[in-house]
Structure 1
Amino acid sequence: MRSAGTAEVGVAYPPVFVVDGQAGYPLPPVPRPRRGFSAQWPLYVLVSLALCGLAVEACFIYKLHSSTTTPSDVGRVDKISQDRDEIEIRPTRRTNPMVKPSKPTAHLTAGPDRPRADGILLWNTEGDSITHELKYKEGGLEVQREGYYFIYSKVYFTEPKCNMFTHTVLRRTPRYLGDDLQLMESRRYHCSHSRELQSCYLGGVFHLVKDDIILVKAQNHTLIARRGPYDNFFGAYMI
């Protein structure tokens, strides 16, 4: 048996070192936190908040879209649209079909009655005709309010063969005795074998008083063509 302090022949033993626990050796330094992370964390927080906001907005839009496009609501909307179309197509009755003029106004169109023997033309007071504060009386318009009036008249006629066609606007007033006063006149003389259709228009401003009557007269009135209310008309309005 070998002793502990003896060494075996031929065997090398490592030297024995004694560790002194009282010796002061410096400890390794504690690693410091990286500055990059501390500087970027506010950016991470902002990005997270933005993503959360987008998610909340997406959920809100989805719920809103789902609530407005449910099958029952779609059918209800279609029914409301169909009912609205039917209401719009259905004709409605207007309580006031015509707005009254603010001043005396009249527009008369040709009617079925032929002119009188003296050439005074007769007019139609229905359809597109208007009489407001101007009374229709025996082919003329009786003035109810004194003022300045624009008077106009148009007739459509067939040119005579070597004869005169005269278109006249007259004024009949109780202030003057005798014949009617002539306000406007147009004369056309044509001598040809062909008979063409022509039109004549008269218009002017005149001062009229109450109870005055304005009329339209045509010489050779048998030549007047009556095809529709747009050919022959007569009217006046206060300016």
Structure 2
Amino acid sequence: MEDRSAASHPQVFVVASQAGFSPVPRPVEKNRWTPTGSKFLLLVVALAVLGLVVQGCFVYKLYMKTEAFSICVSDALCRNMSNSKTSAQQAGSLKSGASEGGSNEIPPVQTLLGPKPFAHLMASLNFLPGSSNPDGEKNVMQWIDQDGDAITHQMGYNNGRLVVKEEGYYYLYSKVLVNAAEVCSLIQHKVMKDTVAYGQSIELMKSKRFRCWTPKPSSVKSSGGEDIWDSYLAGIFHLQSGDEVFVTLDSIHKLRPGPTENFMGAFMISP
């Protein structure tokens, strides 16, 4: 009986709480930013900064050129002497050549004006309102091309038309002063171009004014029937060799004469 009772009870095992425990070591994480990766990042940042600096330099140079060109367009002296540096070099070479050869001859004026074509035409002081055009063309303004301040350099002139000899981009301008004191009048001031490639005149620039008084105001009567109106046109256009540029004015008999009040001109900006 005692053996059966002893076999029916399971054996009890005691686990010692002070048993030794060795923790499993954690894997060491590798540093993502290795020295090679950081160097590559610094190189990319340096290249980006260098690109911004170079782009800023180009933008600054373009701004300075644009500003210089705008100042030159607004200055009459710069317009007439657009290539003063080249002109000075030519004058220096001519002067040195004369000193070496022992000649005291003054070089022609045309050799000192630079290589780029330009022209400035003015209306005659002898123009009388109501007079007809010498060449019979309707409303085509006539100019003086070789007297006083009027000049043409490497450009031709024929019956009010400025003839282009060298292809390029030109700055064209024209100003007129008219008396618009009629009861109803439409005045149109145009800069036109004739080219071999097209069968009729091409309109480059235009300004117009229409005024109609009913009845005519007393202020115009008291001032001797004058209502002065001036028009100025200017722009840049591509012209080919053989093109002719001219100015037309509706009711040309209304023009107020004077070389400083009526003129036209052109000068090359770039070939």
- 1:209 aligns with 240
Q: Secondary structure at the match of 1:168?
A: strand
Question: Is 1:230 aligned with 2:260?
Answer: yes
Secondary structure, aligned partner of 2:253: helix
Question: Which 4+ runs in 1 deviate beyond 4 A?
Answer: 93-98
Do 2:189 and 2:207's aligned partners in 1 also have CA atoms closer than 8 Å? Answer: yes
User: Where does 1:80-229 land on structure 2 (aligned, <5 Å)?
Assistant: 99-111=112-124, 112=126, 114=131, 116=133, 117=136, 118-125=138-145, 126-161=147-182, 162-177=184-199, 179-192=200-213, 193=216, 194=220, 195-226=226-257, 228-229=258-259
Q: TM-score, normalised by structure 1?
A: 0.57
Q: Deviations over 1:175-228 (max 9, x none)?
A: 111x210000000011233231111000000000000000000001111100x2
Flag structure 1 segments of 5+ consecutive residues without an equivalent: 1-92
Instruction: Sort the Cα spacing of 1:145 and 1:190 in 2 relative to 1 into closer, same or farther, 3 A.
Output: same
Partners of 1:143 and 1:208 within 8 A in 2: yes
Counterpart of 2:188, as a letter, is T
Q: Distance in 2 between matches of 1:225 and 1:236?
A: 22
Larger radius of gyration: 1
For 2:122 and 2:203, locate their aligned partners in 1 and report how far apart those are by CA, in whole Å: 21
Aligned residue in 2 for 1:78: none
Residue 160 of structure 1 and its aligned partner are, at CA, apart by 4.0
Runs of 5+ consecutive residues of structure 2 not aligned to the other structure: 1-104, 221-225
Instruction: Name the structure where helix makes up a greater proportion of residues.
Output: 2
8 Å CA contact retained: 1:115, 1:121: no
So what's the TM-score if we normalise by structure 2?
0.50
RMSD value, Cα: 2.0
Distance verdict in 2 for CA 1:123–1:115, change over 3 Å: farther
1:95 Cα offset (Å): 5.9
Q: How high is the sequence identity, in percent, across the aligned residues?
A: 34
